[in-house]
């Protein structure tokens, strides 16, 4: 089984992916991690990607799709995986569908976590990171702390440039114009579900769990 997680920056995709991965044993795949892994392994596609990134350029779709194909062909992923951060464009979605079909992945679900943009701006501008361990915290949680709850570093909290309001609004604009049409592309599928990401983390997780369990049961019924 596979899960494609969608949502604007800050909706909680990464948090939910970790919960799902722990609960079901699915591998959590983020495109950034996958790209770095290919570069580290020195695969032909990874080396091409490294050369392009070293010039400060974006990795083109054909190389990204090739790297994703390599990753999804790994045998352990047949137990299930979560794809986070891909596809970002309609052309990537079309290419991904072909890869999934070629590798005989036929039991998938698309989950869209939805949160109002102004709430996302509020959430992200309120985040702080530790300079030492890079852990992310809500500023309200650590406002009176002098050391990081994770690594103990003193006076290490700061706001990352990515969490500044002007940067966030630019990222949301790109998401709206480039990635949101992917949801429209998948809207013809009966396996797409929208979830309100404003609910507490555990409630969002419960909704996702129900969708996964329902999908797994439906698959058993079809195979029976």
171 is annotated as an active-site residue: yes
Q: Which stretch of DSSP H or E encloses residue 136? A: strand 136-138
* Model pLDDT, residue 20: 94
Distances (CA, A) of 25 to 35, 80, 128: 22, 7, 30
Measured between alpha carbons, how far is 78 from 76 in angstroms, rounded to an integer?
Answer: 5
Average the pLDDT over 68-79 and give the result.
91
* Model pLDDT, residue 22: 94
* Model pLDDT, residue 188: 77
Query: Is the pLDDT score of 220 beyond 80?
Result: no
Strand order of the sheet with strand 81-84? 27-30, 81-84, 2-6, 108-114, 192-196
* Model pLDDT, residue 30: 83
50, 69, 78, 171: which one is catalytic?
171
* Model pLDDT, residue 224: 63
133-144 tens-digit pLDDT: 989 899 998 989
Share of the chain above pLDDT 90, in %: 58
Max distance between CA atoms of the chain, in angstroms, equals 59
* Model pLDDT, residue 35: 83
Average the pLDDT over 110-131 and give the result.
94
What is the signed CA dihedral for 166, 169, 174, 177, rounded to 10 degrees? -140
Query: Is the pLDDT score of 26 beyond 90?
Result: yes
Share of the chain above pLDDT 70, in %: 99
127 is annotated as an active-site residue: yes
Average the pLDDT over 178-198 and give the result.
88
Quote the distance between the C-alpha of residue 196 and its chain's center: 16
**What stretches of the chain show up as alpha helix (H) in DSSP?**
13-24, 31-41, 44-54, 61-72, 90-102, 117-125, 139-142, 165-174, 180-186, 201-223
Show the tokens assigned to 175: 């998401």
* Model pLDDT, residue 126: 94
Show the tokens assigned to 27: 């591998």
50, 69, 78, 88: which one is catalytic?
88
176 is annotated as an active-site residue: no
123 is annotated as an active-site residue: no
Query: Is the pLDDT score of 120 beyond 70?
Result: yes
Measured between alpha carbons, how far is 48 from 51 in angstroms, rounded to an integer?
Answer: 5
| Contact (CB, 8 A) for 155 and 128 | no
69, 160, 191, 216: which one is catalytic?
160
Full set of structural domains in the chain with CATH: 2-116+179-223 (3.40.50.300)
For residues 220 and 69, the model is more confident at 69
Show the tokens assigned to 126: 């309120």
Measured between alpha carbons, how far is 114 from 104 in angstroms, rounded to an integer?
Answer: 29
Query: Is the pLDDT score of 156 beyond 90?
Result: yes
169 is annotated as an active-site residue: no
Query: Is the pLDDT score of 119 beyond 80?
Result: yes
Reduce the DSSP state of residue 160 to 3 states and report it.
Answer: coil
Confidence of residue 106 (pLDDT cuts 50, 70, 90): confident
Query: Is the pLDDT score of 73 beyond 80?
Result: yes
Query: Is the pLDDT score of 168 beyond 80?
Result: yes
Query: Is the pLDDT score of 222 beyond 90?
Result: no
Reduce the DSSP state of residue 84 to 3 states and report it.
Answer: strand
Looking at every residue in the chain, the average pLDDT score rounds to: 90
Sorted by sequence, the CB contacts under 8 Å of residue 91 that are 6+ apart come out as 61
Nearest to 94 by CA among 23, 182, 216: 182
């Amino acid at each position: 089984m596979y899960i494609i997680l969608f949502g604007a920056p800050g909706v909680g995709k990464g948090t939910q992916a970790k919960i799902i991965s722990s609960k079901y044993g699915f591998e959590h795949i983020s495109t950034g991690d996958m790209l770095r892994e290919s570069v580290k392994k020195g695969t032909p596609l990874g080396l091409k990607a490294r050369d392009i990134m070293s010039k400060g350029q974006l990795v083109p779709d054909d190389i990204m799709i090739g790297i994703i194909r390599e990753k999804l062909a790994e045998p352990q992923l047949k137990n299930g995986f979560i794809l986070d951060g891909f596809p970002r464009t309609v052309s990537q979605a079309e290419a991904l569908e072909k890869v999934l079909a070629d590798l005989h992945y036929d039991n998938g679900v698309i989950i869209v976590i939805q949160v109002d943009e102004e709430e996302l701006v509020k959430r992200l501008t309120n985040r702080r990171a530790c300079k030492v361990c890079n852990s992310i915290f809500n500023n309200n949680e650590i406002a009176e702390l002098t050391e990081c709850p994770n690594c103990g570093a003193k006076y290490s909290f700061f706001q990352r440039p990515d969490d500044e309001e002007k940067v966030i609004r630019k990222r949301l604009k790109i998401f709206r114009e480039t990635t949101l049409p992917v949801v429209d592309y998948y809207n013809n599928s009966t396996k797409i579900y929208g979830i309100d990401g404003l609910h507490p983390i555990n409630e969002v997780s419960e909704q996702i769990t129900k969708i996964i369990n329902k999908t797994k049961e439906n698959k058993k019924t079809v195979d029976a």
